[in-house]
Amino acid sequence: MSPRTISESEFETREAELIEIARSLVEKACLTTLTIDKLVAAAPYSKGTIYKHFISKEDLLMAICNKCIQEVQELFVRALNFKGNSRERILAVMVSYIIWAKLHPSQLFAVLSAHSPSVAACTSDERNTTHHQCEASLMGLMNQEIGKAIEAGDLELPEDMNFEQVTFAMWSASWGAMALIMSKGHSEKLQPMVLERESFTNARLILDGFGWKPLSKDWDYQETTKRIAHELFQPEIDALENADTPFIFI
Amino acid sequence: MSPRTISESEFETREAELIEIARSLVEKACLTTLTIDKLVAAAPYSKGTIYKHFISKEDLLMAICNKCIQEVQELFVRALNFKGNSRERILAVMVSYIIWAKLHPSQLFAVLSAHSPSVAACTSDERNTTHHQCEASLMGLMNQEIGKAIEAGDLELPEDMNFEQVTFAMWSASWGAMALIMSKGHSEKLQPMVLERESFTNARLILDGFGWKPLSKDWDYQETTKRIAHELFQPEIDALENADTPFIFI
DNA sequence: ACCTGAACACCGTTCAAGT
DNA sequence: ACCTGAACACCGTTCAAGT
């Protein structure tokens, strides 16, 4: 093959291909066993070429994380199309996140791990920028929904808070539940915790705390959850069923 | 020195010493740069001896984590002695946790990192058991407080929830806020988030969601926070001030 | 101009030799 | 019985040589 300048788009295609291979390696084994050597072995390119794309192993991890966030974003968009009130749509987002996490536990671990100072420290500036854009985009979807809820009269923004803080409250509560439950092996105390139930509990408490209507006492959100699953995520629900990690309806 | 059998207590003393050296290395630099080689260099024992105590690097990390949890537990106990109502005592626990995290950000990172399946997988059974005991003990303190709150008529246990779930809701919401804020470098969206404010917001929402009295609208918890800081943690507050990472009163 | 893979450095883990 | 540290294996990163 004669040497020639590869175009930017070819470069990007190759990068996407590498990220997919890396993700499949994570999926087949786990994040800890992912090495650059294994990526080289699984990819049709050499080590040097791979280091043209990722300046470090952490950079690769962040690239995987960003791809995951984009995938989650698609689910969020689908969730926000749910025909219902504003709080039901927020619940749909929660459901979609939980479904994704249960479908791809190893990828979730990549997302969790990518959120550590040591990873960001070894990541290229562009990748970091992209990462922040990905997260800002997710937050933007939520902020938009908050605006709609206020417009609809379902929510009153606490005077000393902005949209980002409201989103952060929901985000961090979900994040904590996921991180603790999904990351944990066999803790006696955490064993009985169920991701679906605890996530919904957190969401319910936070949303009731905001006075986001309809309050949990005034609405059957269990019924809403069933509708969400059935109307928006039936294929994913079936996939979870087949993988013997069924979605638990509380 | 003539060879002789070392006693169990000598062995434990040596282990505690090694853990302290490892913690000081983490404190001086960061968790990522901690290596067994550096521990060997800093400790008066050889590599082989260190592997008598820790079956892997992960085992050492878990040991550090457990020591941190014990330290946090002492702060919790102090917090629960606060003279006030049940919800104020819960707030005192939150304050103590935030203070510890701000005093020891690198150690917090060790605690966060230890909570990952890959770490638990490479940890000795005893260490893992101890870890679960440490966390169960922390949860036990909270559960006890929940019992007192119910007795005092401040809280009504939701019929479909047990004590552990109530504790988990508070724990996971704090965990998520800490993990996201402390682990993050310079995200534009997360930059404006303030650990103290966001943690208290989460706690307020969760506790209001439970209907834990006095509700935030009926009590000046900002005043309580000041009292907690002053009456229980003045030395730590001063230390934070001197470290140029002051505790932020919202 | 781009790609390759040998070479290097670092670090977690083991174990034969020593006391 | 206990300790030591050289040796090994693995893996992230670089760069001189090749096309």
Q: Cβ contact (<8 Å) for A116 and B109?
A: yes
Are both A99 and A197 inside the same structural domain? yes
pLDDT in tens, chain B (250 residues): 333 467 888 899 999 999 999 999 999 999 999 999 999 999 999 999 999 999 999 999 999 999 999 999 999 999 999 999 999 999 999 999 999 999 999 999 999 999 998 999 999 999 999 999 999 999 999 999 999 999 999 999 999 999 999 999 999 999 999 999 988 766 677 778 999 999 999 999 999 999 999 999 999 999 999 999 999 999 999 999 999 999 999 8
Are both B95 and B214 inside the same structural domain? yes
Residue A3 C-alpha, separation from nearest chain B C-alpha, in angstroms: 40
Q: Cβ contact (<8 Å) for B132 and A189?
A: yes
Q: What is the pLDDT of residue A5?
A: 67
Tell me, yes or no, whether A248 lies in a domain: no
- As a whole number, the mean pLDDT across chain A is 94
pLDDT per residue as tens digits for the range A136-191: 999 999 999 999 999 999 999 999 999 999 999 999 999 999 999 988 766 677 77
Tell me the HSE value of B213 on the side-chain side, using a 13 A CA sphere: 8
- Candidate from A91-95, A216-220, A242-246, B179-183 with smallest mean pLDDT: B179-183
Size of interface A-B (CB pairs under 8 A): 153
pLDDT value at A1 more than 70: no
Q: What is the pLDDT of residue B186?
A: 64
Are both A44 and A94 inside the same structural domain? no
Q: What is the pLDDT of residue A117?
A: 87
**Two tokens at B185?**
């470098």
Within a 10 A sphere around the Cβ of B128, how many other Cβ atoms?
19
pLDDT value at A3 more than 70: no
Within a 10 A sphere around the Cβ of B150, how many other Cβ atoms?
16
> Nearest 5°: CA angle at A235, between A232 and A239?
135
Are both B34 and B132 inside the same structural domain? no
**Two tokens at A31?**
């994040």
**Two tokens at A65?**
């994380």
User: Which positions of strand D lie within 7 Å of protein CB atoms?
Assistant: 1-7, 10-16, 18-19
Alpha-carbon distances, residue A124 vs A35, A146, A210 (angstroms) = 19, 33, 38
Are both B46 and B77 inside the same structural domain? no
User: Which positions of strand C lie within 7 Å of protein CB atoms?
Assistant: 1-7, 10-16, 18-19
Instruction: Supply the DSSP string of A159-174, one letter for each residue.
Output: TT--HHHHHHHHHHHH
Q: What is the pLDDT of residue B5?
A: 67
pLDDT per residue as tens digits for the range A72-81: 999 999 999 9
Total number of domains in chain A = 2
Tell me, yes or no, whether A100 lies in a domain: yes
> Nearest 5°: CA angle at B223, between B200 and B147?
60
**CATH code for the domain in which residue A35 is found:** 1.10.10
Do residues A96 and A75 touch, judged by C-beta distance below 8 A? yes
| Cα separation, B43 vs B51, whole angstroms | 13
Give yes or no for B113 touching A (CB within 8 A).
yes
Give yes or no for B163 touching A (CB within 8 A).
no
Give yes or no for A209 touching B (CB within 8 A).
yes
Tell me, yes or no, whether A250 lies in a domain: no
Q: What is the pLDDT of residue B185?
A: 66
Q: Cβ contact (<8 Å) for B187 and A116?
A: no
Are both B113 and B1 inside the same structural domain? no
Are both A49 and A67 inside the same structural domain? no
Q: What is the pLDDT of residue A185?
A: 66
| Cα separation, A112 vs B231, whole angstroms | 37
What are the CB-based long-range contacts (under 8 Å, 24+) for B73-81? B73/B134, B73/B137, B73/B138, B73/B141, B75/B99, B75/B100, B76/B138, B76/B141, B77/B141, B78/B232, B78/B233, B79/B228, B79/B232, B80/B141, B80/B145, B81/B232
DSSP H stretches of helix in B54-124: 57-79, 86-103, 105-114, 117-121
* pTM of the predicted model as reported, rounded to 2 decimal places: 0.95
Burial (CB count <10 Å: 0-12, 13-18, 19+), residue A148? middle
Give residue B54's Cα distance to chain centre: 22
Q: Cβ contact (<8 Å) for B205 and A204?
A: no
What are the CB-based long-range contacts (under 8 Å, 24+) for B92-97? B92/B228, B92/B232, B93/B141, B93/B142, B93/B145, B94/B174, B94/B199, B94/B200, B94/B203, B95/B225, B95/B228, B95/B229, B95/B232, B95/B233, B96/B72, B96/B232, B96/B233, B97/B72, B97/B174, B97/B178
Instruction: Supply the DSSP string of B154-193, one letter for each residue.
Output: S----TT--HHHHHHHHHHHHHHHHHHHHH--S-TTTTT-
Q: Cβ contact (<8 Å) for B180 and A169?
A: no
A-interface mutation test, from B206, B208, B212, B222, most A Cβ less than 10 A away: B206
Tell me, yes or no, whether B248 lies in a domain: no
pLDDT value at A233 more than 80: yes
Are both A44 and A62 inside the same structural domain? no
Are both B118 and B13 inside the same structural domain? no
Q: What is the pLDDT of residue A186?
A: 64
For residue A135, give the nearest of B188, B60, B120 by alpha carbon: B188
Tell me, yes or no, whether B183 lies in a domain: yes
Tell me, yes or no, whether A249 lies in a domain: no
**Two tokens at A226?**
């069933």
Tell me, yes or no, whether B247 lies in a domain: no
pLDDT per residue as tens digits for the range A16-72: 999 999 999 999 999 999 999 999 999 999 999 999 999 999 999 999 999 999 999
Within a 10 A sphere around the Cβ of B4, how many other Cβ atoms?
6
Tell me, yes or no, whether A247 lies in a domain: no
Are both B12 and B80 inside the same structural domain? no
Last residue of a domain, one of A13, A33, A54: A54
Proportion of chain B in helix, strand, coil states, percent, rounded to 5:
75, 0, 25
Q: What is the pLDDT of residue A2?
A: 34
A40 lies in which domain range? 1-54
Give yes or no for B157 touching A (CB within 8 A).
no
Mean pLDDT of the A81-94 span: 98
For residue B191, give the nearest of A138, A113, A132 by alpha carbon: A132
Are both A98 and A166 inside the same structural domain? yes
**CATH code for the domain in which residue B215 is found:** 1.10.357.10
Are both A44 and A164 inside the same structural domain? no
- Estimate the crossing angle of helix B163-183 against helix B86-103, to 10 degrees: 30
Q: Contacts of residue A174 in chain B, CB cutoff 8 Å?
A: 176
